[in-house]
Chains A and B, each alone.
Chain A
Amino acid sequence: MSQPVTDAVPVEVRHDLAQVPLAPPSRTSGVLEVFRRRYLLRLMVRREIKARYAGTAFGLAWSYINPFTRFLTFYFVFGVLLGRGMGLQNFAIHLFAGMVLVTYFTESVTAGTRSLLSNKGVIGKMAMPRELFPVASMLVSLWHAVPQLIILVIACVLTGWWGDGPLWVPDVVGMGAALLGFLLIMVYGTAAGLMFSCINVIFRDFQRIVQTFINIVPFTVPMMYPYHLIADGDRIPIKYHDLYVANPVAEAVMLIQRGFWYPTCDGPCAVDPVTGATLPNFVDDLYSRGFIMLGIGLVLLAMGQFVFSRLEKTIPERL
Chain B
Amino acid sequence: MTTSIVVENVSKTFRYQSHPTLKKVLQNRLRGDRSNQTFKALDAVSFEVPQGQSIGLMGLNGSGKSTLLKLVSGVMVPDEGQVLTRGRISGLIATGAGFHNELSGRENIYMNAAMLGMTKDETDSKFDDIASFADVGRFLDTPVGNYSSGMFARLGFSVAVHVDCDIFIADEVLAVGDRPFKRKCLKRMKEIRESGITMFYVSHSAGSVKKMCDRAIVLDKGKVGFDGDVDEAIKYLHYDGDDEEPDGEESSEDERDDALANDI
Contacts and interface: CB of A to CB of B under 8 A. Distances in A.
Given A17-B51, A40-B114, A127 B73 contact: yes
A47 B109 CA distance: 12
A15 B94 contact: no
Interface in A109-125: 121-125
B89 interface: yes
A125 B115 CA distance: 11
Interface string A32-76: 000001011001100100110011000000000000000000000
Interface string B71-82: 011111100001
B175 interface: no
Contact of A124 (B74, B75, B116): B75
Contact count band on A: 35 or more
Contact of A43 (B18, B72, B110): B110
B196 A11 contact: yes
12 contacts: A2-B54, A11-B51, A11-B52, A15-B87, A22-B3, A22-B84, A25-B83, A55-B102, A125-B70, A126-B73, A126-B94, A127-B89
A81 interface: no
Overall SS of chain A's interface: loop
A19 to B, nearest CB: 9
Contacts of A317: 14, 18, 76
Contacts, number: 130
B84 A316 contact: no
Nearest to A51: B102
Contact count band on B: 35 or more
B211 to A, nearest CB: 13
A14 B73 CA distance: 19
A126 to B, nearest CB: 5
A85 to B, nearest CB: 45
A87 to B, nearest CB: 48
A71 B115 CA distance: 39
B51 A26 contact: no
Interface in B28-61: 50-54
A24 B18 contact: no
Nearest to B82: A24
A20 interface: yes
Given A7-B194, A9-B195, A121-B97, 4 more contacts: A15-B166, A15-B197, A17-B51, A22-B85
A123 B115 CA distance: 11
B84 A12 contact: no
B143 interface: yes
B24 interface: no
Given A12-B195, A14-B164, A51-B103, A126 B83 contact: no
A20 B18 contact: no
B6 interface: yes
Contact of A26 (B53, B76, B116, B197): B76
A243 interface: no
A126 B97 contact: yes
A14 B89 CA distance: 13
Contacts of A21: 86
B53 A1 contact: yes
Closest 8 CB pairs of A and B: A25-B74, A127-B74, A125-B94, A11-B196, A54-B102, A26-B74, A22-B84, A125-B97
Given A15-B195, A22-B3, A127-B74, A47 B85 contact: no
Interface in B156-208: 164, 166, 193-197
Interface of A: 1-4, 7-12, 14-18, 20-27, 37, 39-40, 43-44, 47, 50-51, 54-55, 121-128, 204, 313, 316-318
A14 B86 CA distance: 12
B214 interface: yes
A17 to B, nearest CB: 4
B103 A26 contact: no
Contact of B2 (A3, A7, A17, A125): A17
A122 B214 contact: no
Interface string B104-115: 000100110011
B238 interface: no
B120 interface: yes
B23 interface: no
B100 A47 contact: yes
Nearest to A50: B103
B72 A25 contact: yes
A54 B143 contact: yes
B19 interface: yes
B119 interface: yes
